[in-house]
Structure 1
Amino acid sequence: MTHPLITEITELATPIAEQLNLEIANIVFQTNKNPSLLRVDIRNRVGDTSLDDCEKMSRLLEEILEGKDIIAEAYSLEISSPGIADVLTTDREFISFQGFPVMVKTHTPHKKKTQFEGTLRSRDEDFVYLNCKGRIVKIPRELVEQVSLRSASE
């Protein structure tokens, strides 16, 4: 389940990322940790995401978050680049990783399951399509919690 502050944090982080020629890949706020962890995954639009990109984003976002005071509790801010094993979120990622092995998790059962493994076929406005052992499985997007890449050996 997405934390209610994610939308507001995204609205604050996106212009900063754009100013630095970055894009926001994912934002997660884990309140089950002590202190809570706000993790923002960024991607450089023109090349590899560098440590310098992460440092600049961290400094500017921290300044904005502290100024707006939208997070009442103590938290740690972590800026990183998404790795190959991370979650697919953007249309670009779903197009780029067609044909790759993925794991789809749903928040409520679909066809009596909450996890589906297969090869990513596509995604449209209504469904995520997987090839599961030669059969095409349509998973309603409103049920999808997460789509993550898996290595072929998993």
Structure 2
Amino acid sequence: MSAVVDTVKDLVMPVLEENNFELVDLEFVKEGKSWYLRVFIDKEGGIDIEECAYVSEYLSDKLDNADPDPIPQAYFLEVSSPGAERPLKNEEDYQKALGDYIHVSLYEPLDNQKQYEGFLQSVDDQHLVLKIRIKTREKEITIDRKKIAKARLAVQI
């Protein structure tokens, strides 16, 4: 993680823990000419706009008063829910997603494909098993976790 992300995480965690919110993801990225600090939060039952605004105001105040300034350049602060297609970042996320429909992107092809969608059947520290649908038949595939570039919950169409 970058120094900015580490510092922001330290600043935001107290308010998240105090309110039983979960830090889902945190990123500091440049898009075009602008920098964005994005904080994705959630809680059991879902997060609402007022809770996002509360965390945004808290974090904005902490960042404005930090010395030295952890982010000297101009940036946009965004605090939001991870949405329906929430990323799966850690072991707890994968465990919560057991039985759910997920999307997996791979670093290299597996059976000539780099992306899969299916129901997460099982997961351990080495592999995950997805039940995928190929036309009218279902098949289970095992994916080496080291080959996973990104994984997220998915909306089944």
**TM-score w.r.t. length of structure 1:** 0.78
Mapping of residues 28-39 of structure 1, within 5 Å: 28-39=27-38
Pairs aligned (count): 150
Aligned to 2:100: 100
Tell me the CA shift for residue 125 of structure 1: 1.6
Aligned to 1:124: 124
Stretches of structure 2 lacking an aligned partner (at least 5 in a row): none
Encode CA deviations 1:133-152: one digit per residue, 9 max, x unaligned.
33333323333222122222
Aligned to 2:139: 135
Encode CA deviations 1:28-83: one digit per residue, 9 max, x unaligned.
322124321111111134x4422221122111212233315222321101111121
* Letter of the 1:131 counterpart: K
| Cα RMSD for the two superposed structures | 2.5
CA contact (8 A) 1:58 1:77 kept: yes
User: If you compute each CA radius of gyration, which structure gives the higher value, 1 or 2?
Assistant: 2
- Closer, same or farther in 2 for the Cα pair 1:72/1:124, shift >3 Å? farther
Sequence identity (%): 25
CA contact (8 A) 1:25 1:90 kept: no
Matched, 1:53 2:51: yes
Matched, 1:73 2:77: no
